[in-house]
Amino acid sequence: MSTTTTVAATEEAILKLTLAYDKEIHEEYKYSAYLPVYDEKTKFPPLQPFEFNDRGLVANKEKPNLLPKDNASVKATKLTPVIGTEIRGLQLSQLNDLQKDELALLIAERGVVIFRDQDFKDIGLEKQKEFGKYFGPLHIHPVGSHVKDHIELHNIYLGPDNEYRNQRRSTRLTTTGYHSDVSYEHQPPGITILTLLSVPSTGGDTAWASQTAAYARLSPPIQALLEGLRAEHSGYPQAEGARRDGKFVRREPVKSLHPIVRVHPATGQKALFVNPGFTKRIVGLQDEESEALLKLLFHHISLGQDFQVRVRWEEGTVALWDNRVTAHTAISDYNVHNPQEGLRHGFRITTQADKPKGVNGLESTW
């Protein structure tokens, strides 16, 4: 069975690496080096505080380097009025620093930016990581599967041979679940870069919700109430679930109390910073009050199709989003057991960002 196979990585250090796939069925696969494994040996200490410099802060707001007005080959299209921009005619792998700074700002403004026809998946692991590091230190997922020898590359893989994931999926009515990546961290991620190496023939889209718009839609009295509150985001259920399933927890879980309304350092825009994935309760409220308010917000975020965008992946698509101003969900609607529908496989590079700041000096605590 695929989930119990172990391999010895080197002679001196026997690294236990559990394969989360069946080796035999991927022998011909071009991106087999990116298939999911679990390092079940390396423990990581708690993340340390660091000074974060948002690249968007130094960007030219007009974005003359990234989106020059006199270059017809670069096409940027708004996917919806509220959230999402699609770019064609530029290679992420070729961007200079000025362009990357403007891109960071564009991602913050538009929530998610979709690059089509990219060579990014073929530039190699070191260059891929180097690109991510430009935006912030790379996050190592506390429990997730990753690319062999590159633990910062979080694996996205739902194939017929990923028995662990397939099993876990079966207890819910839907696969959708809006979240902001590992928002329980004390300095949670800013930009995430998701690259698909193999795209199913149909399905497997990803959707994003604008948390800036979600906040703006609320009535002023509710906005004012939320601006004074923090909510608890917890990594414990994820770690406990992994342990229960016999998985290795490589960094002990943490909780953070983040402002519910977060101010983006580069745009100054306010956004809701709660998500159904990791936010557990509102600090200072009675249980029923906290539950009712979070339920209201989670419904609002999940149901607001008029501030969401759903993106279809194509060969060569790379998605970059800002976790500080969006929530997102995978849409796992394809049949992993039907080879005609194809394989969905990719990797995520996740960059850590600032300690969240709210309104009137409200900061995260833990």
Ligand X SMILES: O=C(O)CCC(=O)C(=O)O
Q: Collapsing DSSP states into helix, strand and coil, what is residue 178?
A: coil
Q: Collapsing DSSP states into helix, strand and coil, what is residue 159?
A: coil
Q: Which of 259, 253, 206 is nearest to 231 (CA)?
A: 259
Query: Quick one: what does residue 206 bind among ligand X, Fe ion, none, with the CB cut-off 5 to 8 Å set by partner type?
Result: ligand X
Rule CB under 6 A: choose which of 39, 181, 185, 232 binds ligand X.
181
Query: Quick one: what does residue 211 bind among Fe ion, ligand X, none, with the CB cut-off 5 to 8 Å set by partner type?
Result: none
Q: Collapsing DSSP states into helix, strand and coil, what is residue 109?
A: helix
- Check 39, 181, 322, 354 and give the catalytic one: 181
Q: How many CB atoms lie within 10 A of CB 296?
A: 12
For residue 331, give every residue at least 6 positions away whose Cβ sits within 8 Å of its Cβ, in sequence order, or none.
175, 176, 203, 204, 205, 206, 207, 310
Nearer to Fe ion, 181 or 232 (CB): 181
CB of 208 to Fe ion, least distance (A): 10
Q: Collapsing DSSP states into helix, strand and coil, what is residue 236?
A: helix
348 catalytic? Reply is yes
Backbone phi and psi for residue 150, each to the nearest 5 degrees, phi listed first = -140, 75
Query: Quick one: what does residue 222 bind among ligand X, Fe ion, none, with the CB cut-off 5 to 8 Å set by partner type?
Result: none
Q: What is the per-residue binding string for ligand X in 112-151, x denoting contact by CB under 6 A?
A: ----------------------------------------
Query: Quick one: what does residue 330 bind among ligand X, Fe ion, none, with the CB cut-off 5 to 8 Å set by partner type?
Result: ligand X
CB of 138 to ligand X, least distance (A): 14
152 binds ligand X (CB under 6 A): no
328 catalytic? Reply is yes
Nearer to ligand X, 99 or 192 (CB): 192
For residue 234, give every residue at least 6 positions away whose Cβ sits within 8 Å of its Cβ, in sequence order, or none.
184, 253, 255, 278, 280
What is the identity of the amino acid at 272? L
Q: Which stretch binds Fe ion (CB under 5 A): 77-85, 150-158, 181-189, 299-307?
A: 181-189
Q: Collapsing DSSP states into helix, strand and coil, what is residue 163?
A: helix
- Check 146, 154, 233, 348 and give the catalytic one: 348
- Check 116, 179, 300, 310 and give the catalytic one: 179
Nearer to Fe ion, 102 or 322 (CB): 322
Nearer to ligand X, 66 or 209 (CB): 209
Nearer to ligand X, 99 or 275 (CB): 275
The Cα angle at residue 122 between residues 182 and 86, in degrees rounded to 5? 60
156 binds ligand X (CB under 6 A): yes
The H or E element spanning position 239 is helix 236-244
Q: Collapsing DSSP states into helix, strand and coil, what is residue 187?
A: coil
330 binds ligand X (CB under 6 A): yes
User: What is the rounded radius of gyration, in angstroms, for the C-alpha atoms of the chain?
Assistant: 20
Binding site for ligand X (CB under 6 A): 156, 181, 192, 194, 206, 328, 330, 348
By annotation, the residues acting in catalysis are 179, 181, 328, 348
Binding site for Fe ion (CB under 5 A): 181
